[in-house]
Amino acid sequence: MKIIDVELQKEAEQSYLAYAMSVIVGRALPDVRDGLKPVHRRILFAMHDLGLLPTKPYRKCARVVGEVLGKYHPHGDSAVYEALVRMAQGFSMRAPLVAGHGNFGSLDNDPPAAMRYTECRLQAVSSAVMLADLAYDTVDFAPNFDNSQEEPRVLPARVPNLLVNGSSGIAVSIATKIPPHNLREVVAGLHALIDNPDITVAELMQHIPAPDFPTGAHWTPFTQILASGGIRDAYEHGKGSITVRGRAFIEGNDAGAREKVLKPSIIVTELPYQTNKADFVAKVAALVEEQKLTGISDVRDESDRDGMRVVVELSSRGGDLSGNTCAQVVLNNLYKQTTLQSNFSVNSVALVNGTPQTLNLKEFLTNFLDFRCQIIKRRARFDLRKAQTRQHIVKGLLLALADLDKVVVTVRAAKDGAAASKDLQQEFGLSPEQADAVLSMALRRLTSLEAGKLREEEATLAQTLAQLQSLLGSQQLVLDTIKRESQEIADKFGDSRRTAVRMDESGQLSVEDVIPNRASLLVFSRRGYIKRMPTDLFSVQGRGGRGVSGARMREDDTVEEVAHVMDHDTVLFFSPDGICRALKAYQIPQSSRTAAGTPLTQARPLTDLGKGARVASIMSLGEFSDDDFLVMLTKNGLIKRTPMKLFANVRGSLTAIKLRPGDELMWVERCVADDSVLLASSDGTVIRFPTSQLTPQSRVAQGLKSMVLADGARLVGMSVLPAGLTAPEASGSETDEEPLDDDDQPEELADSPVPSLLLVTENGLGKRVPLDMFRSQRRGGKGRRGIKLNDGDSLSAVEVHASNEEMLLTTAGGMMNRTAVSTIRRSSRMARGVNVANLQEGDSVQAITILRPNVED
């Protein structure tokens, strides 16, 4: 034995490369021509060889697996059976190639029955698309593993099966994942390429817009592809990520006789391609148990033979009367946290001439078209040879029939068959094949009728030969044949798209999509603590109640203000130094009713406020137009009106107002030019003037004088009267003089639809005064008396309101009382009011917040 010295590194590289290519070419990657891996090709060929046609009875899968193993695929039987099963699964293949009889698995990843129990045969589409041209010498054959049989190197597919059914596989250092497509669309794209060889991928996408996954029902597209750049990337470059979303909808159920509300459920009827339904249900249950998914009370699988149905029951009715707001948020969370929405990563790698290549959409179709042209030409040459051979025989028969008596004499005079054949060749000029055909004629062929049939056959063969020669000589006729045959396949086996394409969505869920847009209260304190809590934590109480604790205040801390917002709102934060910052309401940590809150400096972008920072006013930005303004009021009484559009895009911080030394920004409200503004001072004086008296100013302006204050008085509030609620003007001319007290005015007034001004004192007395009792004045006046105060009491807050609204009263100690405004008496300007809150000793009213029905759910 001779020993050959070989360098280890070189031998390892060569051996590993040989192994890698063997796996790539012989197992893992599909061929671009027929879209099949070797094992699938061998299964179909073995079934065709066994005669398991669509019109024949089913045969045991074990018989097919044994045939494949024994003749073509010397690997494990489980690999062959798994490949056979997948070709029979309607949820795996867009156009299944095998018809299965028995248990072939399910979407729950249930295994198929053993191959000794299941049966199979070819699907009609397999025979028509993959195997119809196999007998016409259209493809090359190669010896099998032991040289005992021959197998086709590729099947003569009539349509691009690799695009129709897709493929996936992992080889050595290379992988492929090609999505399935709609048969009709693929054929349309192939025709477009034939008509215009210079067509672009973008133009092809007009015919093949997206993959078509086999998960939806036949009558309607269920699974959704959220169109984004991933589809174009996959089609143009061969790689991309496609967002696929299952089918789910919100269904309302009667909650029962005692509960007269709708309790919705989320019904899932389709999952994305290759998603395990059992794993999906288990994942949802686990997320609920871990409290990563909230609002779900139960999840169960009600699927049956009629289709999939997974029910996700909600635990509450959510943000509106039907529960759709809450249900939509839960559904968005299912999209984000489970496989109900997933990404299909396309990696279009296939074998081209035995070499793995990454292909775009046009290259898929171009390679198949070149292959199909070869198939058509090889089939035509086969038919041409066959027709020429038959024509040669027919000519010999006709020549013999023309002088039949001489043929008979020649044959009878011959010693044997060989001699007879030789004599016929010499006497009539026949070829050996023609002479043998003459000797093989039956007596019935000697009749005149048979002679006529031969002449007709000769004419038909001449016409066939002319057509075949024309076909071989014209590329356009070859392409027309491909179009005609592929269209026949599409018409016979094509169906409607099962996957809808939504071009208006990117598939990316924003934070707002998974957070309910509920009404909340933002509470912030003098020492810089803020928190967010739902409004429904406070039930409506009667007038004069003590309320409930809304915040556990730290020592030497008091509530500054309470704002009513929606969780999705962009909220503007104005600090006393005149600086504006913005963030989403949901970014404020939600706290319990009794919690103290979170320091402002821990909420971005408020981190630059510094320790002990305060907020003077907060306001929801919402939607606005060029007619909207912000009106700002400082502690020293300077007021200005600034266009709201200047605060549309707050990045970090910006200056809202330029302050004089010793002054602070205190109140900010939203208005339009036709609105009116009402200011109130601690001595109970109120002034009303139209905002049109405030000339629009820039952000850095200081403002104008608003109101003349009495000695010792200070401003305590500002409220805007919308133009749509403008009350009739009181009689009399504009004046800045304070009228004499009318002690004979009635204490209580009848209720009316006229808007009122709600005034509440520090000691908890409050009343509603009709706005028509406050005439418009010039800016900078003294105002009019709005409430008569007891000794030691002072006005604390004012708000314009409508009679159908509610009020949330907040005390400095953190107590909150939610009260219907209609329970507070309407009184004249000189009335003292009624007790609206039962305050604890040492506590005082700090703020009132109107809960408007059009804001709250």
> Would you say 168 and 350 are in contact if contact means Cβ atoms under 8 Å apart?
no
One-letter amino acid at 55 equals T
In degrees and rounded to multiples of 5, residue 231 shows phi and psi of: -65, -45
Q: Sign of dihedral through CA atoms 750, 789, 809, 691? A: positive
Round to whole Å and give the CA distance between 848 and 10: 85
Question: Distance from CA of residue 189 to its chain's centroid?
Answer: 26
**Rounded distance between C-alpha atoms, residue 251 and residue 685, angstroms:** 55
Q: Cβ(246)–Cβ(272) under 8 Å?
A: yes
Pairing mode, if any, of strands 540-541 and 815-820? parallel
Kindly write down the DSSP assignment for every residue of 140-177, as one continuous string.
-EEE-TTSSSEEESS---SS-HHHHH-EEEE-SS-EEE
Residue 35: how many other CB atoms lie within 10 Å: 26
| Per annotation, catalytic residue among 58, 81, 117, 136 | 117
Q: Prior bond to 746 cis, omega within 30?
A: no
Burial 166-202 (b: 16+ CB within 10 A, else e): bbebebeebebbbbbbbbbbbbbbbbbbbeeeebeee
Structure tokens at 532: 């967010």
Residue 813 token pair: 């100690």
C-beta atoms surrounding 139 within 10 Å: 19
Q: Where are the beta strands (DSSP E) in 585-637?
A: 598-599, 617-620, 628-634
Question: Across the strands, what pairs with 271?
Answer: none
Q: Do 746 and 826 meet the contact criterion of CB atoms below 8 Å apart?
A: no
Catalytic (active site) residue 117: yes
Cβ partners under 8 Å of residue 733, min gap 6? none
Write the DSSP symbol of residue 730.
P
Q: Which residues contact 791 (CB under 8 A, 6 or more apart)?
A: none
Buried b (16+ CB within 10 A) or exposed e, 485-494: bbbebbeebb
Rounded CA separation 683/74 (Å): 100
Partners of residue 757 on adjacent β-strands:
769, 800
String of b and e for 813-848 (b: at least 16 CB within 10 Å)?
bbbbbbbbbbebbbbbbbbbbbebbebeeebbbbbb
> Could you list the active site residues?
117
